[in-house]
Chains A and B, each alone.
Chain A
Amino acid sequence: MGMMDESDQNLSSSSDEEREDEKRLGGRRIIFETPLKSPFNTRAVSTPATVPEMTPSPAQGSISDSVSSDPGRDTSRSFEKQTSTLDGFFQSEQRVFRGNLSEPTNLFPDISHSQRRGKRRSLPVHRSRLSESLLLEGYCTPIVNRGIEKRRSVSSQKLKSLGSRTGSPERRPSTAEFSSKGSPERGARNQSWIKLDILPQLVAKYRWRTVVLLWCSLVLSLTCSLEMILLTRSAAQVEHFHELSRPDSLLSAAGLRGQMTSGHWKEKKRRVLKVKTPVAKEGSKPKERPTDKVPSKHIEHGKTAEVKPKPEQAVVDGTLGVQMPKAVKGNPSPTLAFHVPPPTTLPKKAKFDLQDRKMYSTHCSKKRRVVSLDPFFQSMSGGPPRPIKLYPADFTDNTQLYSILDSSDERLGHMELRESYTVGECVPMQDWQTTFHPSCNGMHELAMETLGEDNGNDLQLFGTKGFWRYAWRLDLQNVHDQDTMVLKTLK
């Protein structure tokens, strides 16, 4: 290295590895050198070859073992001017802080053995700073070193304040003073200046590498931006992707609602039209008729009925005689004004403990008289599902009247719908709560048409005060006796 003088060449342990360390530490040394001095010609401070007798910490020992002595090196002027042991201590610390591992580690050159121990006891803060320097110098990241520098500056300020209290401020110089070999103010100023100056110096040193790095970064950024442009899907591609991923055949009512919510409802219509059109085979391509756009002003906020499209008019194709609806062009795609929030809590599973297994067993298929209302509990019972034939009826429940009766009709106000068995966290505790055991056959076996005649059977209405039901006294003549029961009917 050019920055090393002749005395440095006498080092016995100047191997390649140490040279690399010096190179690395030399870069760090720039930070604490004055701007007047070239960072690559930094003159390392030499110290006497006496190895300190103090017991170093393990980290200190590991570092100091790799350091060789250099008796022929010059001592700096600051060392010569120092008269007190405190200054010697700071100077030795500064030497270590500057981080030349090829130098000897005589940390306290002007202090005898007894004096040194006394000073060490009296200055615990300095000792800790010294160990930090030995431990971290050259082995830690620049970020950590930056924190250490900040900490040192703070501690130096504390020392200055301590010196002012004791009346000898010049005896406790700061780290900046040592690094600049001048006044503390100058050292601080040079420190900040050096930090800003490190970049152009590095550029000057590694010029061709910097240029190559800049070119690489530029090419990389251009490549990334080009890929982003190429990979960005157009709106038509996104629409086609939605059509492929959501076929119409798999959609339920909830799916359609979701479609309408997400605005893909119209796209489905368009896709169906494209698939079923026979015009392409004939070669004569008629123009697509303009679509019947649903004007947005007709879509009122909060109404779901406006989502339904207008009934499409049939168009008779003269060639094939196929009725074609109007092609839907454009995408008005009204969306629902409200969204049904998902349930916040998942329903819990019911814990069943069947009480009367014989009576309500589902395994005896012949005598079973339990009809499950909820398919969930039917599947829980484990038995084969009982087929129930459903007969179509014109009128099944009152909800069919919603579209017939006017909303102001009072009959709609009397309608009461059955509440769901499972609502949120409320689940049936037993399976009988969701089953019923009708005996309609037995009820209809009663000879209602002959009741009240002179055959021994009688029917008398005696309970009319109930709110829900009438109560009838039913006398049925048996072979040996007459049974009296109560028949309750809807009032």
Chain B
Amino acid sequence: MLRNLSTQLRPSSRFNHNFEDAHFEHDRVDAVAMERLTSSPHVINAFGFCGHSVLTEFADGKRVGELADKAKKTPLKLLRIASDIAHGLADVHSIDGEGNATFVHLDVNLANVVSINGTLKFNGKKRNGLIYDGVIS
């Protein structure tokens, strides 16, 4: 599949990264986390996963920065944005139930928050970390 996709890229484009075991593991954790967090409305959903490739839902909304700029004069909208982000982060940390944080995002920023149908969702858990009995890996 990647070979077919690479044919559509420019001829000069090559893979920047090798197929390393560590990268496979990072993508596995990302996919598994998204799969387990499909019940959360503030985490982006995944439809498929194989190796380094993953199918997720498409974020057609605006960036969070633009939404925040527009909502400067309406505090309720700002509060809504903050609430969505907070709820999404709480869902990530409650992947195994409340009070049982076994997973952390490790890369929370506005670039990893997308808007889908007017709802803010967390994305880009590439630098996610599993908490192994109190230790973040």
Residues of A within 8 A of B (CB): 348, 350, 353, 355-356, 397-398, 411, 414-419, 421, 423, 425-430, 432-433, 435-440, 442-444, 446, 448-449, 452, 459, 461, 466-470, 472-474, 484-491
Give 3 nearest A-B pairs by CB, closest first.
Answer: A416-B22, A440-B50, A418-B21
Contacting residue for B53 out of A397, A430, A436, A443, CB 8 A: A443
Closest-by-CB residue of A relative to B47 is: A485
Interface contact A356-B36, CB-CB below 8 Å: yes
Interface contact B5-A448, CB-CB below 8 Å: yes
Closest-by-CB residue of A relative to B46 is: A439
Closest Cβ–Cβ distance, residue B94 to chain A (whole Å): 11
Residue count of chain B within 8 Å CB distance of chain A: 51
13 additional A-B pairs beyond A429-B102, A485-B58, beta carbons within 8 Å, are A353-B96, A411-B18, A416-B20, A426-B135, A428-B132, A435-B32, A443-B48, A444-B50, A449-B4, A474-B55, A486-B57, A488-B56, A489-B53
Q: If A449-B4, A485-B47 touch, does A430 touch B22 (CB 8 Å cutoff)?
A: no
Q: Which of B8-16, B65-73, B77-85 contacts A (4 or more CB under 8 A)?
A: B8-16
Interface contact B102-A433, CB-CB below 8 Å: yes
Contacting residue for A459 out of B8, B35, B134, CB 8 A: B8
B9-53 to A contact mask, C-beta < 8 Å, 1/0 = 100000111111111111011011001100000000001111111
Q: If A448-B4, A452-B8 touch, does A416 touch B135 (CB 8 Å cutoff)?
A: no
Contacts of A490 in B (CB 8 A): 2, 15, 17, 19, 23, 52-53
A423 to B126, CA, bound (A): 22
Does B131 sit at the interface, judged by CB under 8 A? yes
Interface contact B49-A438, CB-CB below 8 Å: yes
Interface contact A433-B21, CB-CB below 8 Å: no
Interface contact A419-B22, CB-CB below 8 Å: yes
Interface contact A414-B132, CB-CB below 8 Å: no
Contacts of B100 in A (CB 8 A): 353, 429
Number of interchain pairs (Cβ within 8 Å): 145
Interface contact A429-B96, CB-CB below 8 Å: yes
Contacts of B126 in A (CB 8 A): 466-469
Residues of B within 8 A of A (CB): 1-2, 4-5, 8-9, 15-26, 28-29, 31-32, 35-36, 47-60, 96-97, 100, 102, 124, 126, 130-135, 137
Contacts of A437 in B (CB 8 A): 31-32, 35, 49
Q: If A448-B1, A449-B4 touch, does A485 touch B55 (CB 8 Å cutoff)?
A: yes
Interface contact B56-A419, CB-CB below 8 Å: no
Contacting residue for B56 out of A425, A446, A485, CB 8 A: A485
Closest-by-CB residue of B relative to A465 is: B111
Could you pull out 28 A-B pairs where Cβ atoms are within 8 angstroms?
A353-B100, A355-B96, A356-B36, A397-B21, A411-B18, A414-B20, A416-B20, A416-B22, A426-B132, A426-B135, A428-B133, A429-B131, A430-B96, A432-B32, A433-B132, A437-B49, A440-B50, A440-B51, A459-B8, A469-B126, A470-B5, A472-B5, A485-B57, A486-B56, A486-B58, A489-B52, A490-B23, A490-B53
